[in-house]
Amino acid sequence: MKSKKSIIQSAVSTLELEAAAILNVAKNINSDFEKVVSSILHGKGRVIVTGIGKSAIIAQKMVATFNSTGTPAIFMHAADAIHGDLGMIQLDDIVICLSKSGNTPEIKVLTPLLKTSGNLLIGMVGELNSFLAEQADLILNTSFEKEACPHNLAPTTSTTAQLALGDALAICLLECRDFNESDFAKYHPGGALGKKLYLKARDLALSNEKPSIHPSASVKDVLIEISKNRLGAVVVVDNDDRVLGIITDGDIRRMLENNNSIANLKAEDIMGRKPKSIQFDALAVDALDIIKQNNITQLLVLEQNTYFGIIHLHDLLNEGIV
C-alpha cells in the first residue's frame, strides 16, 4: 500500500506528464493544422471522426464538441467501419482518424479504403513514421514522450494530447464561424446551460403573481397583498403602473421594530424607494447577477418604465440556473 505522500506524488507526476504532453502538442501546431481548419470550413460535407480503443472514446468526445459548436460531425468506430459502417461516409465528407501508434491492424485495413473513396484523410497520430501518418493527406501531430502509466502502456498521456488537440480544432472552427452565444443556445436548449442562454426575465415573471398596491394603501392591505403570494413582497405603483417602490417581508419587520403604532402608516411610508429592476427581455442569468450583487431575493421586471412582474431567487433555483 502506497503512503499518503507517494499517492500525492503519483497524482502530481501524472498531471505534470500530461500537461507537458499538451504543451508539446501546442509546439507542433503547423500549417497542416491550418489546412485542416480551412478544409473543414470550406467543405460541403460532414466531419467523420474514427478510431479504435481509447482513441475511439476521444473521437466520440470530439464529435460531441464539433456538433455543439456548429461543425456537423459523425462518429464511426474503426472496427465497425470495415464491417459495413463505411457506408455512412459520403463523397464530400472529411475523415479524421485518431490513433496513438498509427499501426493498429484496423487502421491498416481502414486507411486504404478511405483513400480509395477519395475523401480527405486527416491523421491525428502520435507516431509520425507510422502507416497512418504516411497515408494521411494532412497530419495533426500528437506525439508525446511517454504515457503517465508507470508501465508506459495504458493510454493516458496520448489520449490527453488527442483530447486537447481536438478541443483546439473545435474552438478554431467556432471562432472562424463567428459562432456566438445565440448559436450556442440553439444547440443547447436543455438543462441549465441552455436556460442560461435563452431563458428571459419575462419567462420567470409570467409564472408568478404580480403583487401590487397603491402608495396610500394601509399596512393591513399591504400585509394581505404580501400574504396572497409566495414572493414575500408587494410592489408599490401609481395609476399608470409605474413603480414607486417595493415592500418586502424585511420592510415589515423593520416597520414593527421602529414604530410603536402603525395605525396611520401607509404603503409609501414603509416602502423601499429604489428597488432593483431588470428589463423584461433581459436574460434570466443577468437577473441572477443583479440578485447576487445586491444580496436580495426579489427583483422587479419592467417593460420600459412600467411594472411587468417580479422574480424571486427561488425561481432561478428551480430552473437550475444558480
Domains of the chain from N-terminus onward: 7-179 (3.40.50.10490), 197-319 (3.10.580.10)
Report, as ranges of residue numbers, the positions in the chain whose pLDDT lies below 70: 1, 185-195, 322
User: Using an 8 Å Cβ cutoff, are 197 and 180 in contact?
Assistant: no
Q: How far apart are the first and last CA of the chain?
A: 42
Residues 269 and 78: their CA atoms lie apart, in Å, by 75
Buried b or exposed e, range 54-84, using 16+ CB within 10 angstroms: bbbbbbebbbebbbbbbbebbbbbbbbbeee
Write down the pLDDT at residue 194.
Answer: 66
**Count of CB atoms within 10 A of residue 243's CB?**
20
The H or E element that residue 237 is part of is strand 233-237
Write down the pLDDT at residue 156.
Answer: 93
**Count of CB atoms within 10 A of residue 200's CB?**
19
Number of helices (H), then strands (E), belonging to the chain: the values are: 15, 11
DSSP class of residue 218?
B
Write down the pLDDT at residue 256.
Answer: 86
Write down the pLDDT at residue 185.
Answer: 67
Write down the pLDDT at residue 61.
Answer: 97
Write down the pLDDT at residue 59.
Answer: 97
List CB contacts of 243: < 8 A, sequence separation 6 or more.
Answer: 235, 236, 237, 275, 277, 300, 302, 306, 307
Question: Is 77 annotated in some ligand binding site?
Answer: yes
Residues 33 and 152: their CA atoms lie apart, in Å, by 28
**Count of CB atoms within 10 A of residue 298's CB?**
23
Write down the pLDDT at residue 191.
Answer: 61
Q: List the grid coordinates of 320.
A: 437550475
Write down the pLDDT at residue 109.
Answer: 93
Q: List the grid coordinates of 157.
A: 498521456
